[in-house]
Structure 1
Amino acid sequence: MSDNSGQYRFEVIGKIGSGSLFTVYRARDLLLNKPVALKVLRRQYAQDEGFAAALKDCGRRAMKLTDEHVGRILAVGQEGEHVFQATELLGERTLHELLVAEAPLQQDRALSLFLQICTAVDHAHRRQCPHGDLRPHNVFLTDSGRVKVADFGVASAFSEAKVSQTDALLRSIHYLAPERTQGAPASVAADVYSLGALLYQMLTGAVPFDAVSPLSIARKHANQPPAPMQSLNPRVAQTMEEVVRRCLEKDPRARYPSVDALITHLQALLTAPPADPREMAPERGTHRRPRGARHWAVGALSSIVTSVVFIALCGGLAFGAFWLYRRSAPKDIEVPDVIGKTRSAAEADLQRAGLLLRVAREEYSAEVPTGQVTHTEPAAGMRVKEGRIVSAVLSRGAELILVPDVRQASLQRAKDLLTQVELVPGEVREDYDEVIPEGYVSRQSPPARSRAPKGSQVALQVSKGRAAGAPAHEGDTADVQPPGPKKRARIRMRVPAGAERQEVRFLISDDQGDHVAYEKVHAPGDEIAKTVGGRGEQVRLRIFLDGKLVRDKSLE
């Protein structure tokens, strides 16, 4: 597929498959130089202008989702009658295929996958983007075992366009909350219900409700409780039974108020110590009153012997129960040090130690490279119970600051401006300048409106005024060198996927210094066509997106 400038961005390689909504192709994004999945909307939906517009709008909102467990949307667009989404290429195996082959899953494996699904959904909820169509077919598994949840925004497009959702509801009927089958839009509460249905199937191998017709399934969602999971898989823990039961409450208000609350409860259950074994109270027998002293003595002796045996038996049982408890209780484990390790390496280290990893959030860090662990809770060296979830914070790298334009400001004013945005005034050099008055900044590096790591230095060049013997006016020719040759280039580009508002800037460096040739805020998918030029033997063009250098070329 091409953009309007005639430049092809997506090169289709082959067909992956077809669904009720999209036909999916393997393609290469020539702008980002990476393989992608190109999802082309089926004709009957593309011809509905309202739905096509709603899908594109919801897709652009979903482009803001950046969690590592979300199947990223990279671009949304339309070429002729073809409406498409370009997404990252996900794993070829879905959770549906895994469950068909291996369900029911072991509880620790099921929870490891389930918590990753929850993390993706919670990330989307925090950005007001409920899923609305959570089912095993939309959960992908990478080769490394990581989860990717796809198709955020699709259900919302149906609701916003007010078109029939019959096909969508039919394919998701086993996982839909009762209110969704009655026409309610996607919501946090409905996603919590669908997550409960997913966990039910992962632990039992069966869906909570099934019947001959979709209508019968919908009625069961609305009116019947699901079969206890332990009746289908006796190995399911009672605590998991209670978690799923709360997710599948008919009344949305009785469910977990958020996916974060669900995650927190699961984490608390997994880290709680096991309950003490209950001691069995003995049953008391009935004794006939003996006749005569001899009978009384025999009876008393018998009672004493019985009591001794009973006490010994109880003691043995108590010791045995205590021994079994000690044998079955989770071991104390020292949390390994995973600071500075990538997510996959940290996860592997924790699993070898008998612990689970959950990425709690991402934070800026000037010391730890992007994608590596900055700290954990509990911290390294602490002793915890086997099976506990360790929450980790991943680095987003150094926070990038928009560099202010301090040119033509006094040196002190320039330093103040840099300090205000947590940048550090760096080396100060002086040089003659034909335009900038003495004592004022003539150049800066990094350039204005680029982005630099928080706390980094900005070098300044301060004008010494006009050099001795320099011409006083532009028309004077004494000692003036003729300008170098003029070089031009026509630049065409399309703004890639990313934030809804992206600053695009063309910076020209030539014999006359650095100057901005183009600067404007654009949305993803916008096309830019601009002729730029400069003077000199070497003219350099640099293109920045939100302060990040994306292209650097010399003009011929």
Structure 2
Amino acid sequence: MIGKKLGGRYEILERIGGGGMALVYKGHDLLLNRKVAVKVLRQQYVHDEEFIRRFRREAQAAASLSHPNVVSIYDVGQEGEVHYIVMEYIEGTTLNDLIKEKAPLQVEDAVHYAGQIADALDHAHHNEIIHRDIKPHNILIGKNGRVKVTDFGIARAATSSTITQTGSVVGSVHYFSPEHAKGTNTGEKSDLYSLGIVMYQMLTGRLPFLGESPISVALKHLQEDVEEPRKVNPLIPQSVENVILKAMRKKPEERYQSAKQMMADLETCLSPERRNEPKVAFWDAEMMDEERTLVMPAIRPNQLADYKDEEDEKPAYREEPEPVKKKSSWVKPTIWIIILLIILGGMWYLVGYVKKMFAIETVEVPNVVNETLTQAQADLTAAKLSWTIEHDKDSKLPKDTVVRQDPNGIRMNVGTKVTLYVSDGVPKVKMESYIGQSIKDARLKLQALGIKDEQITVTQGTTEDTPDIIQKQTPLVGEEFEVEKVAIAFTVSKAKETFKMPDLVGLSESDAKAQIAKLNLKLPVNGITREKSYKQPKGKVIQQFPFDKNADVSAGSEINLVISDGLPEDAGQLNVSIPVKPTEEGKDSEFKIVVSDAQYENFEYKTEKVTKPQNLDVKVIVSPDKKAVILIKEGDNLVNSITRTYQDYLDQKNGKNVAPTPSPTPGIKQQQNNGPAIPAGGTGSGTNGSTSKPGTGGGN
């Protein structure tokens, strides 16, 4: 497919991905001059009507959506047996690759991504499209951090049938919902369950359910409770865990009722007001289940009859004989009534007298709420009341202010104690030391305390090796502050400006020093070492470190040099005379001498044009473990090769005659020579009788 043009408009540039149904290529829209992504149905499915329908369904489902967090569809077409969809090209990566690289993700990043996914799902659900395959592989993260939901290959209209097709379940087993696993109807809440699993994976770095086979994973979705995310990653706030647990409830009715509702919860889950949020609790419907197993007493055969008899029985009353009426006498009762009234009158007078003697004074309890403790105590003292003090640590009122009192608004005996609940003031936090930490880490720690970004100001300090490291802070370490009122200031390090390190190898020592000074680099006192070398002449730079050529370096960095101290003591220099003659005497023949020795490798030593037989002189260098090889070429044809070894050098040094050792090339007429030649290195070549060869000696 690479290089092919689809529809005469879309040029396929490279493959960038693929799935079970299609391959994805990066393409170029020749008409609009823009990059596009081209999804092509795999070749093995081009004759499968079911896959073609699913492929077209994806295009129809995505094309009906227009949202910043949904990949846009530009075109759909067919060329021969190639079915393709042209869509928006996203520069970035997939959420799956991001999780593999950085999991667990920062809580803020994970919530930000989940909110955008929920926004995209809300738009799709509003258009009656259920995605049914939400997973990190189908979530693209652009370089600007924007989330794009893609791959509507198995999406269905919200009113369509179940996800089962010809006995199989469509979707990704690690991410689909319990109703998905059972093959029943899926709806909007199934997508929210999958989003909950994606959040779980982003924040813990692992999947909630794993198994040896897809069936075992599906059963876990149906039967097992998920391990709480905070047990895997304690850094997850409780409010965020609550979002995940609610999204992953087994019963759809216990999840969020819509993607919009979940998105609203995500927007506030990191706010300071929710930092102490309790763990979410769900209604346990076990005791309300009419089909649950109960233990009941056995029913006796006559139990119902006995119960009915007991209900029907009526109490029997005893018949009492009528009392015998006696003649009434009014004298005795009258006397007793008079005596009783006299006793009661005496007792009333006595009680009044005693009560007057022991009467206790009562007073109205004054209202001292919102007064300072000192003023409240003064008011209670004036009212002849005492007090006890209780401290209220949750109050936002200033310190030593009365939050409430008990009792209030009633009369009480003089000296009674009134309980005063006094504010401890807004809690204060001690400033920690953030010096030496990155500004990003410091922000996260302060946000965990409830401090907002707008309360933090950052200024640039001095230039350091590592940028964005805190150098100074206000408030200072140990100072107390109120979370809602504090203004925090940090001074952070600036990054050093860098440039590409030039190549100093081959320069003379003075030129290298001048270049180092010009670039504002430093050469340490002991920054130069000298070594014997075959590769560079004496006084030339062999090596530079720790910054090689094209490495990023900043002004003020130290650079060390290794300078050639000439050839090693055991280096052997040989002169080799090579006889050459033209193919046809009187006419020019061009001979090229290529040398490989201890100093150079495949160096074009010289190029000579000769019209008559003559000898060409070649200087080579050998070492105990490196011989010299001279290749003689006429035009592009090898006509001769000569080898010299270190033993040849020793023989020449001791006055012995060195016998020639030519190595003729099969099928090539051998030029006569009077001795083997040894390659010498360098850069450049000579023509018309001229030669070019660098001086001997140098870096290793």
Alignment TM-score, normalising by the size of structure 1: 0.48
> RCO (CA 8 Å, sep 6+): is it higher in 1 or 2?
1
Q: Which has the higher helix share?
A: 1
Q: Report the structure number with the largest CA radius of gyration.
A: 2
Alignment TM-score, normalising by the size of structure 2: 0.39
